[in-house]
Structure 1
């Protein structure tokens, strides 16, 4: 059925509206035909590679758009007009009449776009229709409950794509559904409601649902094919499975085609691409809708593969005035089936895994996944998103059905549900440098007491600040030197800003306690990571401060102790469905390890910090290497071992400030790219990266602050998962979450550092400074967050566990 490209080449076609990238295949086809595409749309977008010229403007302002197009037509001849989107059907008809081009009359377009008018039209012309009424008021609802037989279907008069089409089984449901549709049917939900927001109700039609796709030229049906729609998901009538050719008996299919032909004749349609939706009932066929544009998504590929008929090519021929031969006695070449992909709950898409190799081995005709990781997915009643679809073929119905089952197994995705305490889907970022903050409109629903204002900087600087830290003898290692310098640098900076400070060395515990008791300290800046030179006692420093009723910065003893134990952290994150690498652990070499972990694996000491015990040999590729590393950790270091699947990809550091939704702030992210490392070096952060001058790592690690050329959706998802991790582990004031992103863009949380190092040049203060501030501003920000956390609360309020 393919036409000669020479017919199309050089002709100018006006496309009204682009919709979303799900329609890319239409533009690709039109471009391949050699047409010059002029697009009327609100803005330039993804279709730009296929577009010769744009006419831009508000698509709801029809008269203004007509004026623009007529002005364009004076200097750039337009040969035809084409539309494939329900929302712009009426505008397309108006433009066709204004330009004197082939198209659907405006009067007809208004009838078929308006569901109430179409029902009335059918009634007036003796075409089967259920009982129906308009719903404008509560009185109309009461009347409908008395006059109609339940179940009924409530729908927006100007709706399309099953949006806000809802089944009601009794009068109570009818009232609830009317209120829901009345409040929801606005242009903010979908631009189709610029045409109107009227509501109607009709009796539910029981029967098999079908599509009838047609081409009409000179008033004659040139092509008509029936396809089955299986089991729309009620009560919201979401599409599920589509199959062409139909499995209905021939007499039912002929009856459906006769009904559609009758509708076309009564409408007086001369030229159109049509997509009917109908049901075949015990009493015969009943039309549901008549859409004067090509059916969506899978319809084109199904028609082309089953009957060899190209709906786009022939639809454009009609629009350009070229003859389309009539297709008689269609014989299917194969069976084609399509499955729509839906989420089971509203939430955020957190991972997508597609087995492309397996898809290539199957007769997959088309696969489209329209959501990216990090995007919100809203299902009714929250919204009407769907993820995409997959189309397969087979020699017959059973063959295609089996192929569809296999094809669906190649697609796996996870949608993390929204809940009252989760931060997923609630952050926004105006630029890569801007902090992410919780959208007030989303968190306002939770019962929160208004926070007391921060103490002024002037008053804050009157505080006596203790610096809880660690000193070491001269000649200590790199870790000890780092721990010693952070306290001194904080003290120097705060004193320069007018604070009185006292240095408190927790490696001399008895002296530290005496200093805290006698020096008049108001608040402690807690950067202590050792007591008696042991990191396992880090939480006890905070516990001592609590026992002495001294407020302090950072997390409480429970969080600090929990985060030292990587095994308990993994268990808790897994319980809350936070994505982490698949894992296991042992305390003794005799402990069994799950056998479904995939190599390579990484072996870590389960209760050390600062990457102690992690080097390039920590990543293992077989059982022998695994056994050797486990022995090194369990026996050599005398630590339990955490075993994780190794994630190949970039690592992100997510620096977070605050304690709860009122003051959370995700700072610009830091990204480490490992691809320049020489062969043989695993993409990890070993001990030598952090505390040695290793030239290999120093010269080859690429660190971006903030990340460059990374989608905002991925950055938002990483931020949101990190915020949930921060919440779950109940971090306070500041922290840093480490996230690894694999090659498919799936993020995995590695760990939370609840009181990370905040020395000059460290990650958290550095990304804070990207916002045009400095190190002293950062330290004062931490102090103000701490003051705000304590004000108006019971003395030990912060020791309560998170509400998440």
Structure 2
């Protein structure tokens, strides 16, 4: 029998997702479903199909069934937030793991809150509102500060902290408009969540779920900047993080998946470690972004991409970790001012610390980039990754990398 046949719905941005194709192509025959013919992806592929519109579930199901007739398909994977529901419909049509209803409960943050609340999973108090006056009234009931967030986005787009009623009125339009940044995603008439602000550091847990068994694979500590926005400026992943032994955290992750009825697939669960214990912020039904799983792999932790492929094919993943594990961290860097037209991005390699093991641009000459709030995530112009004995060593190396980064603007 040959390698399992895996459908991957769109590869994502090369800088952030190539490592996943590289990983799964070693053990699976990868067939890519895309809207444009592949370029850099071809070396990892067994084949590909170009479709007119990834939002057209009917077309995707027809493509999946046609492929399966010629060469049986073992699993369907998608790590792009925009298309995870469509990919789940493809899997369901082929009788493969992937529950569209469970994916939609994660995709819609209001439905996530309702499901967690019904099962008494610790989370911030949350209320769905339609506009400014209602948002202010709810915020006063919850108590300041509050967090405003769009109902159907991810990656901290449109999420902002408001310390008083004036700030709520000032930011509610920003959050509402952010909810329409991705036209492919659902737009709801009541599109804004007003939530209790959860104190404490934020972490994420990437898990594989096989037939209801939740298998945590990666814990990352998130670095956030550009307050009052929640821009993810970096991540630190320690495969030996003491949080692995935190019983309350492990229980919260387990209960979250049970509440959502999430039985098969991969998740990226974001949690605040508050003074009153862990509180679930949101659940993304996909592999974590920001190169978090790559950091885990680099430090000797589990291969999240390989686990995602396994559970998509109905198999329990074989989790392998290196005997010697190290801490890996990433930092993202931003342009000096709004509407910076990039002329050059370069690190002074001679001055880079030895702990920096990978770095590169995230923008090309001629592109215009802005730091937050105008450029949320898409304002990043460069990144660097450090590998070291502990988080402090990695952060010091990333600080130095930032100092020797030259961003020339036209």
Normalised by the size of structure 1, how large is the TM-score?
0.47
Paired residues of 1:272 and 1:292 also in contact (CA < 8 A): yes
Paired residues of 1:133 and 1:201 also in contact (CA < 8 A): yes
In structure 1, what is the equivalent of residue 335 of structure 2?
343
1:235 is the counterpart of 2:228: yes
Distance 1:45 1:98 in 2: 25
Is the alpha carbon distance of 1:293 and 1:79 closer, same or farther for their aligned partners in structure 2, counting shifts above 3 Å? same
In structure 1, what is the equivalent of residue 388 of structure 2?
394
Is the alpha carbon distance of 1:367 and 1:207 closer, same or farther for their aligned partners in structure 2, counting shifts above 3 Å? same
SS at match of 2:185: helix
1:136 is the counterpart of 2:130: yes
In structure 1, what is the equivalent of residue 23 of structure 2?
29
Q: Which of these residues, 225, 238, 253, is aligned with residue 246 of structure 2?
A: 253
Structure holding more strand per residue:
2
Is the alpha carbon distance of 1:332 and 1:18 closer, same or farther for their aligned partners in structure 2, counting shifts above 3 Å? same
Q: Which of these residues, 308, 313, 336, is aligned with residue 320 of structure 1?
A: 313
Displacement after TM superposition at 1:146 (Å): 3.3
Distance 1:67 1:250 in 2: 44
1:99 is the counterpart of 2:91: no
SS at match of 1:54: strand
Distance 2:84 2:123 in 1: 23
Paired residues of 1:159 and 1:192 also in contact (CA < 8 A): no
Distance 2:256 2:262 in 1: 9
In structure 1, what is the equivalent of residue 298 of structure 2?
305
Is the alpha carbon distance of 1:340 and 1:101 closer, same or farther for their aligned partners in structure 2, counting shifts above 3 Å? same
Query: Structure 2 matches for 1:543-562, cutoff 5 A?
Result: none
1:371 is the counterpart of 2:366: no
Is the alpha carbon distance of 1:117 and 1:252 closer, same or farther for their aligned partners in structure 2, counting shifts above 3 Å? farther
Distance 1:375 1:160 in 2: 24
Distance 1:285 1:332 in 2: 29
Q: Which of these residues, 140, 144, 152, is aligned with residue 146 of structure 2?
A: 152
Paired residues of 1:132 and 1:200 also in contact (CA < 8 A): yes
Paired residues of 1:167 and 1:235 also in contact (CA < 8 A): yes
Is the alpha carbon distance of 1:367 and 1:140 closer, same or farther for their aligned partners in structure 2, counting shifts above 3 Å? same
Distance 1:377 1:221 in 2: 39
Deviations 1:94-128 (A, max 9, x none): 1111111122x111111111111111111111111
Distance 1:14 1:136 in 2: 39
1:181 is the counterpart of 2:178: no
1:65 is the counterpart of 2:60: yes
SS at match of 1:239: strand
1:279 is the counterpart of 2:242: no
Distance 1:43 1:241 in 2: 31
In structure 1, what is the equivalent of residue 216 of structure 2?
223
Unaligned 5+ runs, structure 2: none
Distance 1:37 1:262 in 2: 33
Distance 2:245 2:315 in 1: 32
Distance 2:39 2:228 in 1: 34
In structure 1, what is the equivalent of residue 34 of structure 2?
41
Displacement after TM superposition at 1:411 (Å): 2.5
Deviations 1:534-573 (A, max 9, x none): xxxxxxxxxxxxxxxxxxxxxxxxxxxxxxxxxxxxxxxx
In structure 1, what is the equivalent of residue 10 of structure 2?
17
Distance 1:168 1:131 in 2: 15
Deviations 1:171-209 (A, max 9, x none): 1221221122323432xx335534657221112111111
In structure 1, what is the equivalent of residue 408 of structure 2?
414
Distance 1:247 1:368 in 2: 27
Paired residues of 2:205 and 2:217 also in contact (CA < 8 A): yes
Query: Structure 2 matches for 1:515-554, cutoff 5 A?
Result: none
Displacement after TM superposition at 1:47 (Å): 4.3
Is the alpha carbon distance of 1:351 and 1:299 closer, same or farther for their aligned partners in structure 2, counting shifts above 3 Å? same
Displacement after TM superposition at 1:325 (Å): 3.8
Displacement after TM superposition at 1:265 (Å): 2.4
Paired residues of 2:224 and 2:232 also in contact (CA < 8 A): yes
Displacement after TM superposition at 1:319 (Å): 1.8
Q: Which of these residues, 80, 87, 90, is aligned with residue 85 of structure 1?
A: 80
In structure 2, what is the equivalent of residue 291 of structure 1?
284
Paired residues of 1:307 and 1:332 also in contact (CA < 8 A): yes
Range 140-149 or range 189-198, more displaced: 189-198
Deviations 1:335-368 (A, max 9, x none): 2121122224222112212234555x62334324
Distance 1:46 1:97 in 2: 29
Distance 1:253 1:365 in 2: 30
In structure 2, what is the equivalent of residue 53 of structure 1?
48
Paired residues of 1:18 and 1:47 also in contact (CA < 8 A): no
In structure 2, what is the equivalent of residue 199 of structure 1?
192
Is the alpha carbon distance of 1:317 and 1:145 closer, same or farther for their aligned partners in structure 2, counting shifts above 3 Å? closer
Paired residues of 1:230 and 1:241 also in contact (CA < 8 A): yes
Is the alpha carbon distance of 1:196 and 1:76 closer, same or farther for their aligned partners in structure 2, counting shifts above 3 Å? farther
Distance 1:182 1:241 in 2: 26
Deviations 1:452-500 (A, max 9, x none): xxxxxxxxxxxxxxxxxxxxxxxxxxxxxxxxxxxxxxxxxxxxxxxxx
Deviations 1:683-727 (A, max 9, x none): xxxxxxxxxxxxxxxxxxxxxxxxxxxxxxxxxxxxxx5xxxxxx
Query: Structure 2 matches for 1:426-575, cutoff 5 A?
Result: none
Distance 1:79 1:247 in 2: 33
Is the alpha carbon distance of 1:67 and 1:141 closer, same or farther for their aligned partners in structure 2, counting shifts above 3 Å? same
Unaligned 5+ runs, structure 1: 1-6, 416-720, 722-804
State which structure, 1 or 2, has the greater radius of gyration over its C-alpha atoms. Answer: 1
Distance 2:123 2:220 in 1: 21
User: Higher RCO, 1 or 2 (CA under 8 Å, sep at least 6)?
Assistant: 2
Distance 2:382 2:87 in 1: 27
Distance 1:255 1:227 in 2: 17
Is the alpha carbon distance of 1:142 and 1:279 closer, same or farther for their aligned partners in structure 2, counting shifts above 3 Å? closer
